[in-house]
A and B are shown apart, each in its own frame.
Chain A
C-alpha cells in the first residue's frame, strides 16, 4: 500500500466533502461522475470515502 502523503490527504478530505457531505435534496437525480474513480484510484489508497461510494454503487446495482 502506498503511504498517504499530506497532499493526498488534503485532496481526499476535499473530495470526501464534495461527494459525501453537503445537503442531499429529496427527489434529485444524480449525474454520473465520470472522473471520480480517477480521483481516488490515482492516489492508490483506500479511505472510508471510497468505501462509501462503492456501497452506494452496489446499492444502485442491486
Chain B
C-alpha cells in the first residue's frame, strides 16, 4: 500500500468523508502540527486522466474544509512514516506557505490570440540568402512585438485591478495560441467579484479571447521551492 498525496493542512484535520480517489480510503498522516491528506493506493494501479480530475475535486473539497496546500499530482509515499518525514523536513516553509494561502483562492486568466501568426511577405527580388535573413529578421520582430503586447496586457490587468504583484504569477507567449497565462491569488469570499473585474478588464483587449477559470485551490501559489 502506498499513499497518494493530495494536500497538506494544519492539524487538527477537518471532518471529511472517508472516500479518496476511486473510492479508496482517504487517510490523514500527522507530523507535528501539520498533516497530509492522501488516498491509500496500490502501487501497481496506474493513474489515468480521470484520476487527475478527481484529485482536483478532492483538493477542492479539502481546501473548502480547511486551508490547504495542494500537492503535485502523482506524488506518493511508500509508508506513513515516509510521508511524515517529508513534512517534518520542510515544516517551516510549509507553515509559511499555508499562512500565505489561507482564506484565498486562485483565479486563472488565459488570453488567446484572436489571430495566429501568418506567413510573412518577403521581397522576392532578393537572393535566397537575403530572403532567408529578411525572413528571420521579420519573424523575430513579429515575435518580440507579440511578447511586448502580451506584457503590456499583463501590466494593464495588474494596474487596473490594483493587484499586489506578489499575488500575481504570469507567463507570456508560451505557444503560438497563448498570449498570456496569468494566476491571481484573491480572498475566497471576494473571488466572484474579482473574477467579474478580471473579465471586464480582459474583455477590453481587442486582439485576444479571454478565458477565465477558477476560483480553484491555490496551486500556483503553493510552491515552496
| B-binding residues in A (CB < 8 A) | 1, 3-4, 6, 9-10, 13-36, 38-39, 45-48
Contacts and interface: CB of A to CB of B under 8 A. Distances in A.
B204 interface: no
Contact of A39 (B43, B49, B112, B211): B49
B209 A33 contact: no
Interface stretch (B137-145, B153-161, B213-221): B213-221
Contacts of A19: 52, 72-74
- Going nearest first, the 5 A-B pairs with the smallest beta carbon separation are A35-B49, A4-B177, A17-B219, A48-B174, A35-B48
B211 A3 contact: no
Contact of A36 (B43, B49, B82, B94): B49
Interface of B: 2, 4-5, 8, 41, 43, 46-53, 55-56, 69-78, 82, 85-87, 89-90, 94, 97, 106, 108, 110, 112, 116, 171, 174-178, 181, 209, 211, 213, 216, 219-220, 222-225
A2 B116 CA distance: 10
A19 B50 CA distance: 14
B225 to A, nearest CB: 6
Given A1-B176, A17-B219, A19-B72, A27 B49 contact: no
